[in-house]
Amino acid sequence: MFDFLQSNKIPLGRFIESAIAWINAHAKTPLETISRSLKVLIEGLTDLLQACPPLLFILLLAGIAFAIQRSWRLPALVLGAFLLIFNLGYWKPTMETLALVFFSSATCLLIGVPIGIAAAHRPRLERLIRPILDLMQTVPTFVYLIPTLILFGLGVVPGLISTVIFALPAPIRLTTLGVSSVPPDLLEAGRAFGATRHQLLWKIELHHALPSIMAGVTQCIMLSLSMVVIAALVGANGLGKPVIRALNSVDAARGFEAGLCIVLLAIVLDRLFRSSGHGEKSIEPGRTS
């Protein structure tokens, strides 16, 4: 029996390869349009961030941090972290990474929050997408980096799309968790006062789910930053490139400095969005309740 199974392999890999080749052959123009558009947007944001003088950018970010927390702890962290990044000479890669993280997180939220709301209102949809989300989070990132590289070529675009696939389950799961955990009494009170479904969603459900949604934002950012080095393997600029170069040349000093910049950026962004969300919830992969 085992000999029969081994000699009659299911051509699953060949089927996927044929499907990717078919998409690449029949949708080449739309794929090139998407690739060029995303590249222009990301490069435009990167140029805008780099056009801003570093000191002015740091002061503006520190001002935003002070407005969010109303204390000097977070602004001091912002000042110390970004001044150290500038001192180490990684300002340009940091801005490139920040642009990639911004686009990937914004895309995840634009897609994930509506899907999360729909899944919270429709249990069948939630049960349907749950294994898909588990697959997106557990499949090694290099596996879906290959088809995105074939379809979109070298550069920042395959890195961006792979990052979105990897980070998208977080906002979907946490939005679903936040909306589905709204107390029924609160919804009944809204209906008793004549609130429409639209008003219930915007004024009660999303307001109650905001801390959970903001937790999804911070997890999106952390997952996006964890993809920085992997995205550099397919040509994406940013802090991942010096890490890859340090790995190839066994340069411990450069690798530590670039890795420290990634950590500092992650800490700052996490503190900024955690403070603005006023609380955070966590969820294990594969669980929504």
Tokens of 189: 């009170």
Cα(8)–Cα(282) distance, integer angstroms? 44
Q: Which residues contact 88 (CB under 8 A, 6 or more apart)?
A: 257, 260, 261
Determine contact, residues 268/82, Cβ cutoff 8 Å.
Answer: yes
Rg from Cα positions in the chain: 22
Segment 8-16 long-range contacts (CB within 8 Å, at least 24 positions apart): 16/147
Nearest to 151 by CA among 17, 15, 14: 17
Q: Which of 75-79, 171-175, 184-188 has the lowest mean pLDDT?
A: 184-188
Tokens of 66: 């002070």
What percent of the residues of the chain are helix, what percent strand, and what percent coil, each to the nearest 5?
A: 85, 0, 15
What DSSP character marks residue 155?
A: S
Q: What 3-state DSSP class applies to 180? A: helix
- What pTM was computed for the model? 0.81
Tell me which amino acid residue 64 is: I
Q: How confident is the model at residue 2 (pLDDT cuts 50, 70, 90)?
A: low
Cα(272)–Cα(266) distance, integer angstroms? 10
Residue with tokens 């499949």: 139
Determine contact, residues 121/160, Cβ cutoff 8 Å.
Answer: no
Nearest to 94 by CA among 223, 230, 265: 265
Determine contact, residues 103/45, Cβ cutoff 8 Å.
Answer: yes
Which of the two residues, 287 and 248, has the higher pLDDT score? 248
Q: Which residues contact 89 (CB under 8 A, 6 or more apart)?
A: none
Q: What is the pLDDT of residue 275?
A: 64
Q: Which of 36-45, 142-151, 204-213 has the lowest mean pLDDT?
A: 142-151
Q: Which residues contact 87 (CB under 8 A, 6 or more apart)?
A: none
Tokens of 152: 């979109």
pLDDT digits (tens, 9 = 90+) for 230-251: 888 887 888 888 888 888 888 8
Residue 187 has pLDDT above 90, yes or no: no
Q: What 3-state DSSP class applies to 272? A: helix
- Rama region for 284: left / alpha / beta (φ>0; ψ in -120 to 50; rest): beta
What integer is the mean pLDDT of 86-91? 91
Tokens of 202: 């915007």
Q: How confident is the model at residue 289 (pLDDT cuts 50, 70, 90)?
A: very low
Q: Which residues contact 44 (CB under 8 A, 6 or more apart)?
A: none
Distance of CA 148 to the CA centre of its chain: 16
CA atoms within 13 A on the CB side of 135: 7
Residue 71 has pLDDT above 90, yes or no: no
Q: How confident is the model at residue 128 (pLDDT cuts 50, 70, 90)?
A: very high
Q: What is the pLDDT of residue 13?
A: 75
Cα(69)–Cα(75) distance, integer angstroms? 9
Q: For a pLDDT cut of 90, what percent of the chain falls above it?
A: 22
